[in-house]
Amino acid sequence: MARRRSTPLIRLSRDDSEPLYRQLRNGLVAAIEAGTLGPGDLLPSSRTLALELDVSRNTANLALQELVTEGFIQSIDRVGYVVSQEVGPFVQARREPPGIPIDWDVRFRHPTDPYPHMRKPPNWSDYAYPFVVGQPDPSLFPTRAWNRAGRAALDGENRSISLSDLIDQDDPLLTTLLCERILPARGISATPDQILVSLGSQQGLFLVAHALVGSSSRVGVEDPGYPDARHIFSRRRGTLRAMPIDDQGILVEGTTSGLDVVFVTPSHQYPTNVTLAVGRRQQLLTAAADDDFVVIEDDYDAEFRYQGQPTPALKAMDETGRVVYLGSFSKFLAPGLRLGYIVADAPLIEHLRDIRRYMLRHPAGLLQRTTALMIESGDYAASVRKTRIAVKDKWERASSGLATHLPEWNIPTQTGGLSIWVPGPSGFDATGLARLALGRGIVIEPGNVCFLNEPRPVNYFKLGFSGIAADSIEPGIAALATLIEDQT
Amino acid sequence: MARRRSTPLIRLSRDDSEPLYRQLRNGLVAAIEAGTLGPGDLLPSSRTLALELDVSRNTANLALQELVTEGFIQSIDRVGYVVSQEVGPFVQARREPPGIPIDWDVRFRHPTDPYPHMRKPPNWSDYAYPFVVGQPDPSLFPTRAWNRAGRAALDGENRSISLSDLIDQDDPLLTTLLCERILPARGISATPDQILVSLGSQQGLFLVAHALVGSSSRVGVEDPGYPDARHIFSRRRGTLRAMPIDDQGILVEGTTSGLDVVFVTPSHQYPTNVTLAVGRRQQLLTAAADDDFVVIEDDYDAEFRYQGQPTPALKAMDETGRVVYLGSFSKFLAPGLRLGYIVADAPLIEHLRDIRRYMLRHPAGLLQRTTALMIESGDYAASVRKTRIAVKDKWERASSGLATHLPEWNIPTQTGGLSIWVPGPSGFDATGLARLALGRGIVIEPGNVCFLNEPRPVNYFKLGFSGIAADSIEPGIAALATLIEDQT
């Protein structure tokens, strides 16, 4: 170690907004970076620095302490402060050209999959006729009630649940209210240990797939069906099996042998809106017990039924615990809140909770408590009623608009859901229509992406009616029908 | 098909709140379930039903339509409505005993791991002296400013970002403000395409591990280090390698060959609070380029530095894009909001965005926009200043409390972080102390869980000072010291 006595050229200014100790620290770093002070060099003592620079001993000590913490210098017993050996390469490296950029593609360890993605224009709300699927009408959101509940969630005893790190727990008020007020309406009887809050039904599905699907798993999916579920299962390396849909819902007979998991949307099948018939429901549950598989029920749009009552959930008929239920607050509050829930056997919930802990800990406490307070006050129920009425009106306009403007297409009656599944005549190109329609301010979603296997039929499209203004529905369908006439 | 003319016994009441068509539907279901109407049986026509029950034809049709949708009956051309063939098993099954409960353990496809979990009492805030780690002081949360920003986030143009399904996007205002206002303070220059919003740094880490770690991956972790990171990597089936910590931070020389990923907490190492020395930082980046590994930087508690300025992030020195940076709003707002961000090379961010889409779509738009508005208005910066001052006061109380009450332990000076890493004398049992302390209303966290390999040293504990009231710190440490004296 070279014991060189060095007095670096450091200028301190008492007018500077930077504190003196910090100026001293900067001067010493500059000296090290410039090489005036090299690795192993001894620094002046704090006493010397204080004297030479006319600062207090305390200021000099603070600066030296700072440099120790930052690793520029080290304190050596009975010697003093010396410049760290490891500083050399750092100072050198600063002058080297930037390194070679990393090649990310070779590093990715996460499987991709061959299936097409659902796409919609991100700026869909800027179009005149946005028949997008799964987007809410922001004007229906209960803003005042939400703000009121949000303020209460940050008040008094609510504060701790809203703001703390809950590690792997959920808001107990929300899980209790789900059991007492929300699930009974779906025919489901559950206890809080059978509930886990999720970030919407999609994250619930990801979590369940994480737990139950691996490379040896065979998963039955509805065909046509929900594309995002297919992505989730195939990224868990599961093998997918298409289960056809008819006017009673998913075909169970002869399709389930060897399966580990079946994913279904019983209330209104995605995308056809067919309600799974009672007999099929029982067939599915019997097959689940016989063939030993788990049924994942995505209770998609369940409460949007415009003729008659909503059918109970499949989970309501489940006596062996084989049904895993996915619910969501997306439709009656907003998808942008990302809040949903899983109802399942307690041992599975415990396992999912453990996985969730290291995935994301828990959905935001503030959103959980705010939603719980909305349910408790009855504001949530009021929002459900209001939304149902508004959406039913839109559904009537969309159904009659299609009947009026596309009478020869014989579109099947669809008494539920937030979109209409439109089967064009054989040979019709809905993908081309969707492209063309965009140019006229009309957003529709081609249905080909909903089919599992190639060649995917291209004559279907989805006409969502939740995000569009009621008054735009009929004129939008009229404009679409004109386009179709021109095309065919 | 048996063509039996059946007139079920159905009683309708005009005083009932249930609509007539629904009462009719219920009566027919009861007849089917009771076996009065069996599979294949023909139902009375809507005309007959209307006449016999004195209801309108429309009411009868609605009831029949309902039963068709539910799958109880089917419409057969030129015959009429018949009870579905598939209803039989359903009605039968209702009377069978419940099936055998499912055995979940054999179905789990998600790896567990052998490492112990961090535990703290869920009701920590009920204790007199809660020295828990990672929990905020709820009194510091900027409630008024948050409520103001929250209302604005549901107003006018903000509404759409707050409430819509953003699919795979983030709030563009938040990513822009991160680039312009938050990251520069950490020395990081980034563009919005290099940013992904996460649900806190833990979810960010899960996402990055999902992308970059698989069963063939070798991952270097600090030892002692952050237990949750270890769980995340080992559940991705990565092999962990312990990298020792000294008073300069993680030891780089001779430890990195063959690694794919290194996880570090440079600002204040978790749990020791050592700041990674400048020389070590450069060594780490040079080794990353030479040995071709990725560095994940968890910028843990970076801004809580009580002497001198926060050191810049490791990411600030990154010239090859090998550093993936994890940031969080947990410390200056609240962990219960679950909001953080990832800064990385654009191709990696694109890949992470694709994974996130099927994992959870996006962190809640409402929380993103509210936080963005807090940053824009300066309320976030004000909260940072206020929190820093309050926490520095607590740090001083905790540091001096330990120096006063446990002078002979020579606890190293720790100038940053939200907890103090307390090394007890060799042979000391901090796990036993923690148990004993709980009985006296004192929560401390044993440090053994932070060590990778067995036998894990038991003489360390963590003393968190962020969640406890300032006035309780000194008396809490005094009480703890008394317990320690009794124990040793």
Asked if residue B142 has pLDDT above 90, the reply is yes
Query: Rounded mean pLDDT of B418-434?
Result: 95
pLDDT computed for residue B38 by the predictor: 81
- Rounded CA-CA distance B236/B215 in Å is 7
Which residues of chain A have a CB within 8 Å of the CB of B86? 248, 277-280, 282-283
Asked if residue B91 has pLDDT above 50, the reply is no
Asked if residue A233 has pLDDT above 70, the reply is yes
- Rounded CA-CA distance B215/B234 in Å is 9
Lowest mean pLDDT, pick from B72-76, B413-417, B456-460: B72-76
pLDDT computed for residue A103 by the predictor: 85
From the CA of A7, how many Å to the nearest CA of chain B? 23
- Rounded CA-CA distance B290/A371 in Å is 51
Whether the CB-CB separation of A203 and A223 falls below 8 Å is answered with no
Please report the sign of the dihedral spanned by the C-alpha atoms of residue B175, residue B181, residue B182, residue B187.
positive
Residue B276: band (very low, low, confident or very high) from pLDDT cuts 50, 70, 90: very high
pLDDT computed for residue B10 by the predictor: 79
In chain B, % of residues over pLDDT 70: 95
- Rounded CA-CA distance A477/A464 in Å is 11
pLDDT computed for residue B177 by the predictor: 96
Asked if residue B450 has pLDDT above 90, the reply is yes
Please report the sign of the dihedral spanned by the C-alpha atoms of residue A196, residue A197, residue A200, residue A203.
negative
- A230 close contact with B: CB closer than 8 A: no
Asked if residue B97 has pLDDT above 80, the reply is no
- Rounded CA-CA distance B268/B300 in Å is 7
Residue in B66, B70, B100 to test binding to A, most A beta-carbons within 10 Å: B70
| Interior/surface letters A352-370, b for 16+ CB within 10 angstroms, e for the rest | bbbbbbbbbbbbbbbbbbb
- Rounded CA-CA distance B50/B87 in Å is 25
From the CA of A230, how many Å to the nearest CA of chain B? 10
Q: For residue B369, what is the nearest residue in chain A, using CA coordinates? A: A336
Tokens, residue A312: 């109970």
Query: pLDDT tens digits, residue range B6-24?
Result: 454 677 888 777 788 888 8
Residue A431: band (very low, low, confident or very high) from pLDDT cuts 50, 70, 90: very high
Query: Rounded mean pLDDT of A304-331?
Result: 89
Asked if residue B89 has pLDDT above 60, the reply is no
What 3 state SS string does B375-438 have? HHHCHHHHHHHHHHHHHHHHHHHHHHHHHHHCHHHCCCCCCECCEEEEECCCCCCHHHHHHHHH
Query: Rounded mean pLDDT of A356-380?
Result: 96
Whether the CB-CB separation of A271 and A303 falls below 8 Å is answered with no
Q: Choose among A66, A59, A56, A64: nearest CA to A80.
A: A64
Asked if residue A16 has pLDDT above 60, the reply is yes
- Rounded CA-CA distance A474/B310 in Å is 60
What does the angle CA B404 – CA B410 – CA B412 come to, to the nearest 5 degrees?
105
Please give the backbone phi and psi of residue A172, each rounded to the nearest 5 degrees, phi first: -65, -30
Asked if residue B194 has pLDDT above 90, the reply is yes
Whether the CB-CB separation of A129 and A70 falls below 8 Å is answered with no
Whether the CB-CB separation of B352 and B211 falls below 8 Å is answered with yes
Contacts of B429 (CB under 8 A, 6+ apart): B458, B459, B487
Query: pLDDT tens digits, residue range B283-295?
Result: 999 999 999 999 9
Lowest mean pLDDT, pick from A50-54, A254-258, B242-246: A50-54
Asked if residue A3 has pLDDT above 70, the reply is no
Residue B99: band (very low, low, confident or very high) from pLDDT cuts 50, 70, 90: low
Percent helix, percent strand, percent coil in chain B, to nearest 5: 45, 15, 40
Smallest Cβ distance to B348: which of A90, A104, A335? A104
- A364 close contact with B: CB closer than 8 A: yes
- B162 close contact with A: CB closer than 8 A: yes
Query: pLDDT tens digits, residue range A21-48?
Result: 888 888 888 788 777 788 888 888 888 8
Strands laid side by side in the B323-328 sheet:
B195-198, B340-343, B323-328, B294-298, B261-264, B218-223, B239-246, B249-250
In chain B, % of residues over pLDDT 90: 65
- B212 close contact with A: CB closer than 8 A: yes
**Domains of chain A, start order:** 3-95 (1.10.10.10), 124-132+382-487 (3.90.1150.10), 142-378 (3.40.640.10)
pLDDT computed for residue A99 by the predictor: 62
B92 or A179, which is more confident: A179
pLDDT computed for residue A210 by the predictor: 94
Residue A5: band (very low, low, confident or very high) from pLDDT cuts 50, 70, 90: very low
- Rounded CA-CA distance B397/B308 in Å is 18
pLDDT computed for residue B98 by the predictor: 53
A19 or A124, which is more confident: A124
Query: Rounded mean pLDDT of A471-476?
Result: 98
**A–B CB contacts, 8 A cutoff, strictly below:** 343
- Rounded CA-CA distance B283/A93 in Å is 10
Q: Give me chain B's average pLDDT, please.
A: 90
pLDDT computed for residue A482 by the predictor: 96
Please report the sign of the dihedral spanned by the C-alpha atoms of residue A429, residue A435, residue A440, residue A443.
positive
Smallest Cβ distance to B141: which of A104, A107, A163? A163
Whether the CB-CB separation of A29 and A67 falls below 8 Å is answered with yes
Please give the backbone phi and psi of residue A423, each rounded to the nearest 5 degrees, phi first: -90, 115
pTM given for the model: 0.85
Q: Give me chain A's average pLDDT, please.
A: 90
User: Which A residues, 283 through 312, put their C-beta within 8 Å of a C-beta on chain B?
Assistant: 283, 285-286, 289, 294, 307-309, 311
From the CA of A465, how many Å to the nearest CA of chain B? 15
Asked if residue A101 has pLDDT above 80, the reply is no
List residues bridging with A76 in a β-sheet: A80
From the CA of A68, how many Å to the nearest CA of chain B? 8
Which residues of chain A have a CB within 8 Å of the CB of B217? 109
DSSP string for residues in B80-107: EEEE-TTHHHHHHHTTSPP-PPP--GGG
- Rounded CA-CA distance B226/A461 in Å is 49
Query: Rounded mean pLDDT of B340-367?
Result: 96
pLDDT computed for residue B137 by the predictor: 84
From the CA of A206, how many Å to the nearest CA of chain B? 6
Query: pLDDT tens digits, residue range A332-367?
Result: 888 989 999 999 999 999 999 999 999 999 999 999
Query: pLDDT tens digits, residue range B160-184?
Result: 999 999 999 999 999 999 999 999 9
Smallest Cβ distance to B210: which of A71, A110, A151? A110
From the CA of A451, how many Å to the nearest CA of chain B? 18
- Strand ranges, E, within A2-112: 73-76, 80-83
The answer to whether the CB atoms of B141 and A134 lie below 8 A apart is no
Residue B435: band (very low, low, confident or very high) from pLDDT cuts 50, 70, 90: very high
The answer to whether the CB atoms of B336 and A87 lie below 8 A apart is no
Smallest Cβ distance to B277: which of A62, A71, A348? A71
Q: How far apart are the first and last CA of chain A?
A: 88
Query: Rounded mean pLDDT of B455-466?
Result: 96
DSSP string for residues in B213-258: --TT-EEEEEES--HHHHHHHHHTTPEEEEEEEETTEE--TTT-TT
Which residues of chain B have a CB within 8 Å of the CB of A86? 248, 277-280, 282-283
pLDDT computed for residue B396 by the predictor: 96
Residue A301: band (very low, low, confident or very high) from pLDDT cuts 50, 70, 90: confident
Q: Choose among B326, B324, B260: nearest CA to B287.
A: B260
Asked if residue B88 has pLDDT above 60, the reply is no
In chain A, % of residues over pLDDT 90: 65
Give the ipTM of the model, two decimals please: 0.84
Tokens 């996915």 identify what position?
Answer: A326
- B189 close contact with A: CB closer than 8 A: no
- Rounded CA-CA distance B28/B55 in Å is 15
